[in-house]
Structure 1
Amino acid sequence: MVIHSDSHIVVRQISGEYISKDEILAQYQAPVRGLLESILDATILQINRKENSQADELSKLVQNSSDLNSSVYFEELQTPSTDRTKILCIDSPDNWMTPFIAYLRGGTLSEDQNKAKYLKHKAAHFFLKNGQLYRRTFSAPTVKCVDPVEAHHCLWVVHEGICEDHLAAKALAYKIIRQGYHGPIIHSDFVSYVKKCLQCQKFNNVPKQSPSLPVSVLSPIPFAVWGIDIMGPFP
């Protein structure tokens, strides 16, 4: 990967020739170096600003956004992308997988007979492998069970992650299952998750109204009016 930049300071700081004394630049420098180290062969080169005119014009588009076509959209960042709070989980709370893991490991059941019967019935679809809970399925390969936090992350990655597909609710759930993950939130909350997506609400195709008013079909006698739906051809 060859990266071109017209900033003399950025190129020298990334290469290590300059020391980043600015706190804001240092916050951006750390993740950039981490990403470059993960690439097998990456080089950053400095070019003249005249040779970077196309990217320079793109960066100035937002200044003249009022003169652009309405089909061009901008996303305004209210806070810097480096302001992300890191949370370390020091305690793993119980979740929906806890009773299944306890039963498969040591046969532990709830004192409630109804809950114990339900757990024994559902546990036939699950098994443990290297301490991880998996679920057997009929129409897909064996899927990995995830807790609510991991399930929410799966929804985010598939819906608006690196590919930014912004899939509909049903397609989103099927794609996550095909990727090999299972969790209650995937089945129950994917509809509400898509409805809360800001980009889907802004740019989704809105169903249009019928070009004419609906008219009731009156029939004086049985079978006076026939209706048929033409569909196909199907494979």
Structure 2
Amino acid sequence: MGSRLVEEEKQRLIDFLTQNADVFAWNHSDMPRISPSVSCHSLNVDPNAKPMKQKQRRFVPERNRIIAEEINRLLEAGFIREVQYPAWLSNVVVVQKKNRKWRVCIDFPNLNKACPKDSFPLPRIDLMVDATAGYERLTFLDAYSDYIRNPPVLSTPKPNEKLFVYLGVSSIATNAVLIRCKDGKQFPVFYVSKTMAEPEKRYSKAEQIILLLVNAKRKLRHYFESHLIVVLTTFPIRMILHKPDLSGRMTKWVIELSSFDITYEPRTTIKGQAVANFLLECDVEDLEEDYSCSLWKLFVDGSSNQMGAGIGIKLQTPEGTTLSQVIRLEFKATNNEAEYEALLAGLKLAKELKIKNLIAYSDSQLIVQQVTGEYGTKDKTMEAYRTVVLREVKDFDQIKFIQLPREYNEDVDHLACSASSSGETLARVIPVDVLIQSSIFYELPDLSAQQVNVIPYEPSWIDPIIAFIRDGVLPEQKDEARKIRSNAAKYAIVRDQLYRRSFSGPYLKCVTPIEARQIMQTIHEGVCGNHSGGRSLAHKTMTQGYFWPNMAQGAEEFSRRCDKCQRFGPLIH
């Protein structure tokens, strides 16, 4: 019985089952055969299919004993009968089940060829039977051995109704529940549960949660196709799905989920008791963690020498997983300025990951003491850096700065030194980013005054994609919203710049129509331009790392409208 059933209802169920105890089959002999006139199962065998004779398979003595016991059990129950054949027809297959027991099956290698495939199968026949029966409670008699429970009342959603999904992950299994809201209350529609395989248990928490969502989509595909699905979770799924450095399986899952109308919202107060019971079945410590409220650790270091300046960043998750980042500074910077740049880059990275609680470690005593207010700033450059740091700190709920001895910060120091020298050797292991201008460029008047060219911003095709990836905002037009949602999986935002994912090369920078025309003009008729045709121009542009929609068509039109190509194209030199 369900442990959360009221005592009165539990007693009524016990009395009902006791009165109808003769209905249940306690052994094989209690299961009489059904007359073929009532129900008969037959295979759709092709009359032209030829029978296949198998070679006799030999088994070890232990398997022979298992087969003999199972055959005798079926004979005693009357499920099978013995028939004499002059030749050997087919073999048996012994398969071990999860409960360490054995299942004996008959091997029919040509069954799929002999039985034509049903082109119109009934999808989710178990769901259709449950909905047709209309009972308030279900018993999972066939789900698990020696386990029966009574789940809460399941509800039927209305057409085009918004449905919500709760996700739960434990150490050995994943659980998801699909619910609908009515009159301010939540009612469960269906439950999905899956025991993780051994390789899946070694996945990161993010991969396990996204895999759970993918499995729920596969099992409840008819709901995902006909309803707007809102995933309520404290885990930053939407941000993870659009990260630029996704693994192969994560990229596959992103593309699979992008074809459905799925949005992600933070999980609020759980109103439905049924949903609360579902979440409580998982261990509290194993439920999906609110990573935004967990304590992260940030290690930073900067380096400056005659060859240049660079910074190294290492961000450690609450589980102990580390994320490394290396940035080379393309401007002159002292060692203290490089230390400040490393701290600011680390804080910006933490903000991009929606981290709220952070401990920042640096081996620079000057930087840590200036940020905490213990030391003063006599130089205007240091004061500008301190102002920018304090401005970034306001976005965190809890942050602490600790000065770390250099010997305990060797990993980050090695990254910073490698970036300040050349970064070519390090780039083979970790991608090296480039910072073109200082973080205090707009804080110092003498630096910001150098910027005199202001280019007015014009809306372009990039804006809706960035708005959806960053804030989840979609256009009001339904077709346009579906198009952006489906294509968003192909893009990623890196340092406020939109990039197109490339599976066979580096990511492509997305440019506006104005920028696209300038790029094509430079490649087509620049210093190294050869006035190539439209197809070659589009290929060269993509090879240089740029992307915009309809590149081939735009390059063809640009090549045709080139004045020099029109003047000298037909001439033979």
Question: Taking structure 1 as the reference length, what is the TM-score of the superposition?
Answer: 0.48
Considering fraction of residues, name the structure with more helix. Answer: 1
Give TM-score scaled by structure 2 length: 0.20
Structure with max Cα Rg: 2
Q: Which of the pair has the greater relative contact order for Cα pairs under 8 Å at 6+ separation?
A: 1
